[in-house]
């Protein structure tokens, strides 16, 4: 157990949990800063290996931070199919969520930050279980996932969790282009796609 993991759970009793994808949610298409993606922040020389790779580019949400949204009073987690690049990218993502994460993998969830998760509902359950094992007392209906990819959102249909597709104003095929905008982060019940 890391100190960052304990810090994430110590506030207990927040009553809600927001879980974010990384690639094209907290980030944009690599190198796609303003004006194409207003509010984005390009980190030249920081490698992001998702979807072909390039310079890490935080979305408006990633740059402003998740605590400045409706999720500000909730516990925070990450469930991503990707790897979050190298150490420099991981440090920047940590700043975006307000802490330095200790990363977990599916089947070995020892923190609320999970990489390499292709089937997201079980990983979200693992993050919820991690918080509740530390006394958070969060009900499944108070868990909110935000992701750019429709198939990841559709996987939550019939579950107890809430899921919302983001980057709806700028999609590149079936994935986000500019990532999440803070205004898209709403604690609304149900499974919602663009």
Query: Tens of pLDDT along 49-64?
Result: 999 999 999 999 999 9
User: Mean pLDDT over all residues of the chain?
Assistant: 92
Q: Is the pLDDT of residue 142 over 90?
A: yes
54 within 8 A of 30, measured Cβ to Cβ: yes
pLDDT level of residue 11 (50, 70, 90 thresholds): very low
User: Given pLDDT bands bounded at 50, 70 and 90, which one contains residue 166?
Assistant: very high
Distance CA(9)–CA(136), nearest Å, equals 7
Cβ–Cβ under 8 Å, residues 111 and 143: no
DSSP sequence for the chain: --HHHHHHHTT-----EEEE--TTTTB-STT--TTTSTT-EEEEEEEE-GGG-EEEEE-HHHHH-GGGSGGGGSEEEEE-SS---SHHHHHHHHHHHTS-PPPBBTTB--SSEE-S-SSHHHHHHHHHHHHHHTT----GGGEEEEES-HHHHHTTTTSSSEEEE--TTSEETTEESS---GGG----SSEE--
What per-residue confidence (pLDDT) applies to 178? 95
Contacts of 109 (CB under 8 A, 6+ apart): 123, 126, 127, 129, 130
Task: Give residue-wise pLDDT tens across range 99-111.
Answer: 889 999 999 999 9
Q: What is the pLDDT of residues 94-141, one digit of tens each?
A: 999 998 899 999 999 999 999 999 999 999 999 999 999 999 999 999
Return the structure tokens found at 178.
């500019």
Read off the pLDDT of each residue in 23-36 and give the average, rounded to a whole number: 94
Judge whether 46 and 88 are in contact, CB under 8 Å: yes
- Taken in order 80, 9, 70, 141, the sign of the CA dihedral is positive
pLDDT score, position 14: 75
Reported residue count of the chain is 194
Question: Averaged over 163-179, what is the pLDDT?
Answer: 92
Angle at 148 between CA 75 and CA 155, to 5 degrees: 80
Residue 5 has what pLDDT?
38
């Amino acid at each position: 157990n890391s100190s960052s993991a304990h810090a994430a759970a110590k506030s207990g009793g927040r009553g809600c949990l927001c879980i974010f994808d990384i690639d094209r949610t907290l980030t944009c298409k690599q190198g796609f800063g303003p004006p194409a993606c207003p509010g984005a922040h390009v980190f030249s020389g920081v490698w992001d290996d998702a979807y072909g790779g390039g310079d890490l580019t935080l979305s408006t949400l990633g740059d402003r931070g998740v605590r400045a949204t409706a999720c500000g009073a909730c516990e925070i987690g990450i469930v991503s199919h990707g790897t979050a690049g190298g150490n420099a990218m991981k440090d920047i993502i940590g700043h975006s969520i307000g802490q330095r994460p200790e990363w977990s993998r599916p089947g070995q969830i020892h923190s609320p930050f999970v990489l390499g998760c292709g089937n997201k509902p079980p990983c979200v359950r693992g993050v919820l279980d991690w918080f509740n094992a530390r006394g958070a007392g969060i009900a499944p209906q108070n868990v909110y996932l935000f992701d750019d990819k429709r198939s990841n959102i559709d996987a939550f249909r019939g579950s107890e969790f809430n899921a919302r597709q983001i980057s709806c104003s700028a999609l590149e095929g079936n994935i986000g282009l500019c990532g999440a905008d803070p205004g898209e982060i709403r604690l609304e019940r149900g499974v919602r796609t663009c």
